[in-house]
Amino acid sequence: MSSNADCFIVLPANTKSGSLIFGRNGEDAAAVGVASEICYYDVSDVLEGKTDGGATLEPVSDALRVILQKPKPFLWGGDFGANERGVAISLSWTDGEQEAKDSDSLLSTDIVRVTLAEAKDAETAVERIGALVAKYSNDNAKMNIIVCDPTAAWILSSAGKVWAAEKLQASWLRVPSGGLTVTTTIDKSSDGLDTSASFAAAHDAEAQAPEADWCGLKPAGDGTYTQQDMFETLRLASGAGSRAANVSVLTASSISCHWFTGTPNAAESVFKPFVFAPKPRISPLTQVQADTEQTLLHSLHANRKPAALEHLRSLERSCVDELNNYFSIQDFASEELDELLKDCVEAEVKFYR
């Protein structure tokens, strides 16, 4: 199973809220029927358990809370997630990892979880990913990782144990889901890497440059782009091969919010919000139970009635408006938001039963 995704990044100068907005459509036609789990980890358990690559992790004294999306049930790591410090990390393309399992290595999904548990900003996250790649990556593995915080976005490409990262300067960017992305603009890299040559061309015959086109309303450079615009961008970009979608609205001055569909094809799904409140609780409906390989949310969504979507979109718009109003008058998440994602998921499934 791949962790490919079609990703969209809009830097703060282009957004109405002054936040960095990141959007992701998972892309894997062969796995549309496979449930994507959404799991929350407190500091006490975020690094517990065995990594999928088999490597043993070193203890961390100041771990962070993490919300994590897993591309299939029972994985340790994830393909997208965020932490309580406003760092969001996404895989956009992986290849060659099937040989890495059960060795002393880390899969790309492991690297996402480990980094989120430790990194307090995007630049630190890039450096941590680079160190993990150099030490634990499988020789055949290739991947692109997008790292964002409220002020900056980075794209990191790796091949085996070498890597290169570019800090995004363009005001917005669409990152395709195939091939290595970083070329000759290299702001951080493995020690000794020849930064005058294209990293992607040197390590990947199928490398693709980021696309110039956009879906839906393109960021106009006038500070008007919103998270609702990103929802619609992902819906227009999605199709029959699209899996779960995510949007992170990252802000330094207020509350960062992370939106999950938890179901395939953004055009046929609704986004539900999560914030790092004091004691978050997420619904068990987004997690696979021991006796099944599907989340109940995924199963009910697959058998939904067509009329349900119109009502749910209305609820989604109301939720966006209410949260934006809350964030405009309060700069921290209080306990009243502890069950925000749980309440929204459980409201959604009422329309499916």
pLDDT in tens, 220-261: 888 999 999 999 999 999 999 999 999 999 999 999 999 999
Where do the domains of the chain lie? 5-350
Q: Which residue has the tokens 């993990």?
A: 132
Question: CA-CA distance, 262 to 260, in Å (whole number)?
Answer: 6
If pLDDT is split at 50, 70 and 90, which confidence band does 179 have?
confident
**What is the Cα–Cα distance from 263 to 260, expressed in whole angstroms?**
8
Average pLDDT over residues 192-200: 89
Where is average pLDDT lowest: 177-191, 196-210, 238-252? 196-210
Which tokens belong to 273?
Answer: 């919000």
pLDDT of residue 226: 96
Question: Residue type at 217?
Answer: L
Evaluate if residue 205 carries a pLDDT over 80.
no
5-350, CATH topology level: Penicillin V Acylase; Chain A (3.60.60)
Residue 197's pLDDT is what? 87
